[in-house]
Amino acid sequence: MVKEVIIGITIALIIFISLLGINMTPILFIGGMIFLLGYLLENKGLVSGSSNIVKPEFQISFEDIGGQNMAISELKEALDFIINKDSICKMGIRPLKGILLSGPPGTGKTLLAKAAAKYTDSSYIATSGSEFIEMYAGVGAQRVRKLFDTAKNLAKKENKKSAIIFIDEIDILGAKRGTNDSHHEYDQTLNQLLVEMDGIKSNNDISILVIAATNRPDMLDSALLRPGRFDRQVSVDLPDKSGRLQILKIHTKNKPLDEGTNLEAIAEDTFGFSGAHLESLCNEAAILAMRDGYDKIMQEHLLEAVDKVILGEKTDRKPSEEEIYRVSVHEAGHAVVGEIVNPKSVATVTIIPRGKALGFVRQTEKEDMLIYTKQQLEHEIMVALGGTVAELLILNNRSTGSANDFEQAVDIAKKIVFTGLSSLGVISKDDISKEKINKEVNRIIEKQEKKVREILEGKIQELNKISDILVKEETISGSQLREILNIEEDAKAC
């Protein structure tokens, strides 16, 4: 109505000025440019995420998501408020306005949001926090308003009673106010989001639920996390062994697996993998099988896919004979120490170059660990130092190939210090000096290096034998390694 009045007044003014004999060409040109600029900004403010609308036939369900049973259970409990809208209104319960999904990348936060739309029979719109931030003041706030309006209109068009707005990477949009001193557009956009979420009422024709995802919840503004905005925070963590097995089964449903494949063994070998990693693993295994001319995926394809996902594709670069022998000694050192301190932990030892790595020892975690003892952390340091100590014993010098091992050892030693497990006792990170931390880290690493040296000096013949096998065959299995080490006897000795 307001637009029509403005247009009418504008036309009347143009006619009146023309009757006075004034040349309207420059005025019409300037007015046209202003109108065009306003039109472009308005349409740019429609949020490109509004085009990311999932049609009902393409939606996924919670049954299609593996390894997140706890997150799904928490999410369903919150979503039931939308499904049972009439019941909660009778009880005078305030509807949930927002759900925050937090967890590492690739754990399925976007999939959970899409499944939530199907579970509640809601319209679904997805966008990203970065799409709201522009150099033009006010554009981001306008996009937030348009996003909520688009969600309501879409729900009406699809004859739905609710709509779900999914905002990925919300830490870009919802970062703590004042952290971007040179760009107040961030704060204005966040303020508009807070206003829109406050405006969600239970008695509206269309129920709006905002689901957001982030892997940095610590960066979010406190006003965004208070009750009445993001009422629930659901943790979407990396899957455990049973979760990984569930995900592998989901992603191999449409793939021809050989009868001899053992997905449980793959789930055991993929400690620390996210759902995205496991999906990529299954896809890479299928590619490897097709490349080798097989019509079914074999166990060796799955195993090779694990290494490929971790380290990347095999490289064409061929190391020199001297480098090959050094890498063999280095990886043999890691493997021997790994088996001694943690029996039956090594799955494969290889010197086949992948990505930037010239060799690799893949270890199997029998159980997913949530907490670690001081001894377990010290064992990890010993395994990290096994390569460089082996080089020192057999080749009488070290190499730059141990750089990453040293970084890993230092990080673990710092964990020992900061968790109060070192000789310093419980400390304050903010108050202790860097020199004191460095001195304690060096002491921890030197102590573990002495233990590694003692182990490898007692296994020097086996170390040489494993190195020679690696030079000739490039890869040695964990069972073959344990046979050489006679690990059963050594495990008792340890």
The tokens of 275 are what? 């759902």
The answer to whether 104 touches 115, Cβ cutoff 8 Å, is no
Q: Please confirm, yes or no, whether 264 is among the known catalytic residues.
A: no
25-44 and 139-157 helices cross at what angle (nearest 10)? 70
Strand partners, 102: 214, 235
Residues 402 and 237: their CA atoms lie apart, in Å, by 31
Q: How far apart are alpha carbons 176 and 221 in whole angstroms?
A: 4
Let me know if 364 is exposed, middle or buried by CB neighbors in 10 A (0-12, 13-18, 19+): middle
Asked if residues 251 and 288 have their Cβ atoms less than 8 Å apart, the reply is no
- How far, in Å, CA of 227 to CA of 247, rounded? 33
Cβ-based burial of 269 (10 A; exposed 0-12, middle 13-18, buried ≥19): buried
Q: Which residues of 311-344 are buried (b: 16+ CB within 10 A; e: fewer)?
A: beeeeeeeeeeeebbbbbbbbbbbbbbbbbbbbe
Please name the amino acid found at residue 292.
Answer: D
Residue tagged active-site, from 74, 131, 284, 331: 331
Enumerate residues 6+ apart whose C-beta is below 8 A from 244: 67, 266, 267, 270, 273, 278
Residue 342, φ and ψ in degrees, nearest 5: -145, 80
Contact 72, 184 (CB under 8 A): no
CA–CA dist 258, 490 (Å, integer): 36
Tell me how long the chain is: 494
d(CA 424, CA 446): 16
Neighbours of 259 (CB within 10 A): 5
Q: What does the DSSP 8-state code read for residue 50?
A: G
| Catalytic residue positions, numbered | 331
